[in-house]
Each structure stands twice: as structure tokens, then as C-alpha cells.
């Protein structure tokens, strides 16, 4: 197999592994799109733009820029990159790293109930904590990503 055909095969195999992972974890309609098609590399994941990479060079800013501020039918979609490191075959897909912009990641953490929202009066929180009523790190509270419509209840 030539180097070019090997890269195509590895890319296709990687997209398929990522789509199958998501299909088994709450996005049952996730499908790979194949090489050469613009937009997301995995369809069937409303609200998400999934870029899948199986390359040695690591150009995360460029890969994220491919999808930043992308929209479909006027709806903003969250961009992320799934990167397959060398030596990590499809059987280890759960260990592949995912990269996203810090701004998007922080918003997800807040939606999942972590941290404090910008503008929160920390003096009031400290006073409540001093009285044993509330922790500065409340953990999960409020809407989770699943409650916001990501994934399904089956996983």
C-alpha cells in the first residue's frame, strides 16, 4: 500500500471509529462522511462540528479554525477536534484526546454546574460558606449537557 493510500485508509478508519463511538454513546445517528467533503467529519450530531484527525503533525489551532463560528441554518454549532495519536488504534478510541477552544470548554463547564458564573457576588458566597451553607465548588448543579439536549438517555 502506498503512503498516500495508507493515510486515506487510516483517515477513513479513524472517522468510522469516532462515529461508532458517538453512536454507542448517545448519538445513535452519528455517521462518518468520508474524505474530501466539507463541514463536519461526523454527521448526525446536532449542535456539534466534529473534526477528526489521524495525523502526526499537530496543528490544533488550524483544525479548530476550520469550524469556528460555523453555523448550519443559522444555528451555532460547537466545534471540537478528535485526534488519533500514533499507536492508538480504533480499539483505544475512548483514549483519544479531544480539543476545543477554552471559551467553549468553560461554557460547557458552567452549563454542567461547575464554577461560578461571571458576575457572581463572591462576597455573598464566602459569607454563606462561612455559615456552612454552600461550598465555593458546588459540583454538578443546574442543567447538564444531557438536559441541554446533547446525547440521549440510553447511554
What DSSP line would sit under 5-30, residue for residue? HHHHHHHHHHHHHHHHHHHTTT-TT-
Please determine, for residue 18, whether its predicted confidence score (pLDDT) is greater than 80: yes
CA distances from 56 to 3, 53, 59, 90, 138 (A): 13, 9, 9, 16, 40
Position 42 pLDDT exceeds 50: yes
The CA-to-CA distance between both ends of the chain, in Å, stands at: 38
Tell me the C-alpha distance between 155 and 153, whole Å: 6
The residue with cell 469516532 is 18
pLDDT digits (tens, 9 = 90+) for 73-106: 455 678 899 999 989 999 999 999 999 989 889 9
Taking 50 as the threshold, does the pLDDT of residue 154 lie above it? no
CA dist 52 and 81 (Å) reads 6
- Please state, rounded to an integer, the average pLDDT across all residues of the chain: 78
Lowest mean pLDDT among 10-14, 66-70, 84-88, 149-153: 149-153
Q: What angle do CA 77, 78, 80 make, to 5 degrees?
A: 135
pLDDT score at 137:
43
Give per-residue pLDDT as tens, 49-64: 999 998 888 887 877 7
Please count the other Cβ atoms lying within 10 Å of the Cβ belonging to residue 13.
Answer: 15
Query: Which phi and psi angles does 84 have, rounded to 5°?
Result: -95, 110
Longest CA span, the chain: 69
Whole-model pTM over 0.85:
no
Residue 151: pLDDT band by 50, 70, 90 thresholds? low
Amino acid at each position: 500500500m502506498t503512503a498516500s493510500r495508507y493515510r486515506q485508509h487510516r483517515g477513513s478508519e479513524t472517522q468510522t471509529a469516532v462515529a461508532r463511538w458517538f453512536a454507542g454513546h448517545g448519538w445513535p445517528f452519528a455517521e462518518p462522511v468520508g474524505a474530501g467533503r466539507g463541514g463536519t467529519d461526523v454527521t448526525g450530531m446536532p449542535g456539534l462540528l466534529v473534526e477528526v484527525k489521524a495525523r502526526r503533525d499537530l496543528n490544533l489551532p488550524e483544525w479548530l479554525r476550520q469550524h469556528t463560528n460555523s453555523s448550519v441554518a443559522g444555528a451555532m454549532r460547537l466545534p471540537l477536534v478528535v485526534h488519533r495519536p500514533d499507536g492508538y488504534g480504533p480499539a483505544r478510541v475512548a483514549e483519544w484526546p479531544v480539543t476545543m477552544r477554552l471559551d467553549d470548554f468553560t461554557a460547557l463547564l458552567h452549563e454542567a454546574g461547575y464554577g461560578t458564573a461571571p458576575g457572581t457576588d463572591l462576597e455573598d458566597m464566602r459569607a454563606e460558606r462561612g455559615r456552612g451553607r454552600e461550598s465555593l465548588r458546588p459540583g454538578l448543579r443546574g442543567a447538564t449537557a444531557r438536559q441541554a439536549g446533547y446525547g440521549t438517555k440510553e447511554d
